Amino acid sequence: MGTVEGRRGRLASLVRVSNPIPAGSLAGKHALVTGSSRGIGADTARYLAAAGAEVWLNYRSKAPRAEKLVAEIEAAGGKAHAIGADLTDEESVAAFAADVRRATAALDILVLNASGGMESDRGEDYAMKLNRDAQVSFLQAFRPLLAAASGRVVFVTSHQAHFIRTTPTMPEYEPVARSKRAGEDALRELIPGLEAEGIGFVVVSGDMIEGTITATLLERANPGAIASRRESAGRLYNVAEFAAEVARATIDPIPDDHTRLVGDTSSFRGE
């Protein structure tokens, strides 16, 4: 068994950029990241684990990927668990919450990262079910645990969704963008009640992220879309860089408007 410092060093090696959270700053904390079998969610979970948090990973169907990430974190001396749950299924979410409650009486961090809507095998209303309805119901399912820890909720979105009411986006992405904005609005309505229970809430919004499944699907539907956005913005964050911003949002002071904008916003009109 290595030293605490050695284990933290091995955990830090799992992440793609320098750890954005001080080592040990989340020791004894419990965190849950939705949509964390790959991409932004997976790297966010890595950062939180490297800072000492015990992390619950959520996946819908990619169990091998999630279990592999759990193994990586545990091999480096961290603590992690992977639980499959369809966020659009209330029974599935209730079972997930029950599993977490059996392990801990409090949840310090909830990162609402899971999203979708560009899948070709889902119904027309799937984007709204996942990006709005499921976000609210998932938070509500874990609200008692968050209140017990005076925890924090981080909602992950894109500039294309956050600014959709003032700045048009690509037609291929518009249904997703509008559903994500609807989800953000629905969650923001909960802020007064959450704050009364000691729960913090912050939105993290970023531009298109290089290497995500959304970017891949958009490029497939509209070849050249990502290159065009990169040229307009000057640069686009990659997965690890944006995940680092999400991780920082779990500990940094919450802005007065509950919004953390990441990357260039000059192409978007504020409300």
* 257 three-class SS: coil
Whole-angstrom Cα Rg for the chain = 18
- Cα(243)–Cα(265) distance, rounded to whole angstroms? 18
Q: Which of 247, 155, 136, 115 is nearest to 193 (CA)?
A: 136
Architecture in CATH of 4-262:
3-Layer(aba) Sandwich (3.40)
pLDDT score for 124: 76
| Pairwise pLDDT comparison (89 vs 227), residue with the higher score | 89
Query: Which residues does residue 13 pair with via DSSP β-bridges, in sequence order?
Result: none
Q: What is the pLDDT of residue 216?
A: 66
How many Cα atoms within 13 Å fall on the side-chain side of residue 44? 33
Q: 51 or 264: which carries more pLDDT confidence?
A: 51
Please determine, for residue 118, whether its predicted confidence score (pLDDT) is greater than 90: no
Do β-strands 79-84 and 152-158 pair in parallel, antiparallel, or remain unpaired? unpaired
* 61 pLDDT more than 70: yes
Structure tokens at 195: 């704050």
Report which listed range, 6-20, 116-130, 151-165, 198-212, is most confident.
Answer: 151-165
| Mean pLDDT along residues 148-152 | 98
Closest CA to 208 of 223, 227, 183, 222: 227
Nearest C-alpha neighbor of 267 from the set 232, 243, 242: 232
Span 160-182, average pLDDT: 93
Residue 118's φ and ψ, nearest 5 degrees, are -95, 0
Domain ranges of the chain: 4-262
Please, is 256 exposed, middle or buried when counting C-beta atoms within 10 Å of its C-beta (0-12, 13-18, 19+)? exposed
Q: Which residues contact 34 (CB under 8 A, 6 or more apart)?
A: 41, 58, 87, 111, 112, 113, 114, 138
The answer to whether 200 and 186 are in contact (CB under 8 A) is: no
CA separation, residue 181 to residues 70, 147, 176, 204, 205 (Å): 31, 25, 9, 12, 11
Work out the average pLDDT over 151-179: 94
* pLDDT average, residue stretch 24-50: 95
**Of all residues in the chain, what percent are helix, strand and coil, respectively (each to 5)?**
45, 15, 40
- Give pTM, 2 decimals: 0.88
Q: Considering the chain, what is the average pLDDT of its residues?
A: 88
